[in-house]
A and B are shown apart, each in its own frame.
Chain A
């Protein structure tokens, strides 16, 4: 019986544990009622995230790759998901050799074209993102869903990416949606981006 009582007491103590998985229970006051604060592991960055969007993490792979990122998925989407990735690429990350490499590989297709029948990459813009130096990339592309088969089923994506160099590594904020859904969720992305705080 004593064991049972102890268990019940502990149950009360741990009641909020799951919901607090990386997320403080209370929404950040400054972000308004529809957003809450998210703090990435090791304090690599923080930002506010919309409460109605779901959050995906791959914690083990983040550590393996030294790429710490969350994917936010909109509750409503068309043919392709409407998603926001907020990522920190550590200096020793496994995928990109610095922010220039990331920009290079994301500003054209594999043929080096900025325009094709199925893609359109806007020129890379040098911008200031809330006082911080950054780059803005924008693109539209029609992507195949079954490239290893003869099916030509495709979706039209529109994307906006902010790249923020840091002393060690770099940050990427990536918004992707099917073209008709892009404008509707763009303010959410901008709000996430505006709340973003990374290491210098």
Chain B
């Protein structure tokens, strides 16, 4: 492309200076502006990146170059995304979330590294000083914690750290030494791996992992409840608990206080909710399959009569039956399985409900009423996961590569929030189940929380909450696209130097389009060199036209917000009407 290849360094530098100070209104030809954008973006200028993405004329001119265009677009999207990410309200308690968000953006194979932000994490600090000098000192301190700066993690008194690494024990003289110098050249994921090892040896390091920290707090709360309940036990029962790990003590206590005996007792409720199921409360594989089969029709009945539910039902009326599977899920209440196009519900969440209600596997199999009750209880997360099914189905029909991004979660959580808001107002039984289950189940409390947040915030601000509070570690669509585009365009540029025969020969052993389409942005960016050329070109085309994706997300958002606005509060649901003016 002429515009990109015919460089005029002096003019480009000057024009870049204009962009830096916001002079985008300065009348130039598109080709000249493109030169200026290219120079400024290459030096990491976020204002230039934003201006370029808004300048349709220059953007289209860049896009005309199949090789350089996507690379420039990838860098620009990455810079805009980084600017937006850091503009969020990060505080010290969210440093781990910021760490997660930066880990997927700053690495050796990421577009940001090509504009000087990484792969060494400290380069982000230099970028901040240059382009966001007005950020408060506290925010910069959070960034230093998020990038795991040596001084923050290990202090200023030492330049090396001896540590064990799995079987390589320090005390056996086979430990690993990490120096300040080697730390400086590690990318974020490598630093996190070191810290994960340190956590195993020193509790002080668990502050760098929110999940480990939260699990520790839960464990402390469970221990306190177990200790309180022990005062009600006989000497024989106490003897059985003696010397047992906490999980075993909770299990035995569940046996001592069996059959939904937790009513009104918060300590027992915590123990019942946290313990493993007793044999009679466990749903064996065959009964889980049966329950899954019964849940599809039962949940469909629940969804009818709500706007969010109707949307889900309309989707399944076109796309086949709503298939539900009940099985253990790691850390989640529900999930959409794209391989089987099935919604999976966590059997442990259902078994917890059964434990507290005093239901057994046999009683559930014999009672349609108990199945309907469980369907009611789990229906909000079916709605949530069905939104992910809709997204997957859309991508398949469009034939486009679709990574999992924040926009997916905004859509899914909004639909769940809308559904739960509607049900709480319209369905007294649902309302009673959710209200009463909050005492023992954080699952139920979270469903009510999402409905409250969605209803009170409105659709617009709820999206901000999802991005900032719930899924800050997930890339936005722009970030994912830039990550993939950078790697793909580099690889295509490299291959353009190969002969046709060499390319064809390599492609015979490379991964197919179908395999590439199933990869995460991270996987795709990391393995672009092993993917067929036609597949890379297809994915590059997909992600260079983000308008297709954005239109779909915008349509889904419009749908939810219109439905939310029409929900009217019934007198029974509300207690605090505003006083008359």
Any A CB within 8 A of the CB of B279: no
Residue pair B136, A149 in contact (C-beta under 8 Å): no
Residue pair B21, A143 in contact (C-beta under 8 Å): no
Q: Which residues of B contact A143 (CB under 8 A)?
A: 449, 453, 469
Residue pair A67, B138 in contact (C-beta under 8 Å): no
State which of A14-22, A28-36, A41-49, A192-200 sits at the interface with chain B: A14-22
The contact string, 1 if C-beta is below 8 Å from chain A, for chain B 490-516, is 000000000000000000000000000
What is the bound-complex CA distance between A4 and B470, given in angstroms?
Answer: 49
Identify B23's interface contact among A14, A65, A107, A114, CB under 8 A: A14
Interface contact tally, CB-CB below 8 A: 201
Q: Which residues of B contact A61 (CB under 8 A)?
A: 460
State which of B163-171, B243-251, B431-439 sits at the interface with chain A: B431-439
Any A CB within 8 A of the CB of B366: no
Any A CB within 8 A of the CB of B573: yes
Most chain B CB atoms below 10 A, which of A17, A18, A110, A113? A110
What is the bound-complex CA distance between A149 and B14, given in angstroms?
Answer: 51
Using a Cβ–Cβ cut-off of 8 Å, how many residues does chain B contribute to the interface with A? 84
Which residues in chain A, 145-170, are within 8 Å of chain B measured between CB atoms? 145-153, 155, 165
Residue pair A104, B445 in contact (C-beta under 8 Å): no
Residue pair B332, A150 in contact (C-beta under 8 Å): yes
Residue pair B448, A111 in contact (C-beta under 8 Å): yes
What is the bound-complex CA distance between A124 and B579, given in angstroms?
Answer: 7
Looking across the interface, which residue of chain A has its beta carbon closest to that of B32?
A3
Residue pair A95, B458 in contact (C-beta under 8 Å): yes
| Known A79-B93, A110-B448: A149·B331 in contact at CB below 8 Å | yes
Which residues in chain B, 443-465, are within 8 Å of chain A measured between CB atoms? 443, 445-453, 455-456, 458-461, 464
| Known A110-B451, A151-B211, A152-B218: A10·B575 in contact at CB below 8 Å | no
* CB of B332, distance to nearest CB on chain A (Å): 6
The contact string, 1 if C-beta is below 8 Å from chain A, for chain B 278-321, is 00000000000000000000000000000000000000000000
Residue pair B569, A105 in contact (C-beta under 8 Å): yes
Q: Which residues of A contact B135 (CB under 8 A)?
A: 54
Residue pair A144, B573 in contact (C-beta under 8 Å): no
Q: Which residues of B contact A135 (CB under 8 A)?
A: 578-579
Any B CB within 8 A of the CB of A26: no
Looking across the interface, which residue of chain B has its beta carbon closest to that of A119?
B452
What is the bound-complex CA distance between A54 and B139, given in angstroms?
Answer: 10
Interface size class of A (residues with CB under 8 A): 35 or more
Residue pair A7, B15 in contact (C-beta under 8 Å): yes
Residue pair A113, B333 in contact (C-beta under 8 Å): no
Residue pair A14, B22 in contact (C-beta under 8 Å): yes
Looking across the interface, which residue of chain B has its beta carbon closest to that of A19?
B22
Q: Which residues of A contact B151 (CB under 8 A)?
A: none
Any B CB within 8 A of the CB of A103: yes
Residue pair A97, B565 in contact (C-beta under 8 Å): yes
Any A CB within 8 A of the CB of B206: no
What is the bound-complex CA distance between A14 and B444, given in angstroms?
Answer: 55
Most chain A CB atoms below 10 A, which of B438, B464, B469? B469
Looking across the interface, which residue of chain A has its beta carbon closest to that of B572?
A112
Identify A111's interface contact among B90, B435, B450, B453, CB under 8 A: B435
Q: Which residues of B contact A95 (CB under 8 A)?
A: 458-461, 561, 564-565
Which residues in chain A, 170-192, are within 8 Å of chain B measured between CB atoms? none
* CB of A78, distance to nearest CB on chain B (Å): 6
Q: Which A residues form the contact surface with B (CB < 8 A)?
A: 3-4, 7-8, 10-11, 14-15, 17-18, 21, 52, 54, 56, 58, 61, 65, 67, 71, 73, 75-81, 83, 85, 94-97, 99-101, 103-114, 116-119, 121, 123-124, 126, 133, 135, 143-153, 155, 165
18 A–B contacts from the bound complex (CB under 8 Å): A4-B11, A7-B18, A11-B23, A14-B18, A94-B459, A94-B460, A94-B558, A103-B578, A106-B456, A117-B438, A119-B452, A133-B581, A135-B579, A143-B449, A144-B445, A147-B450, A148-B332, A153-B217
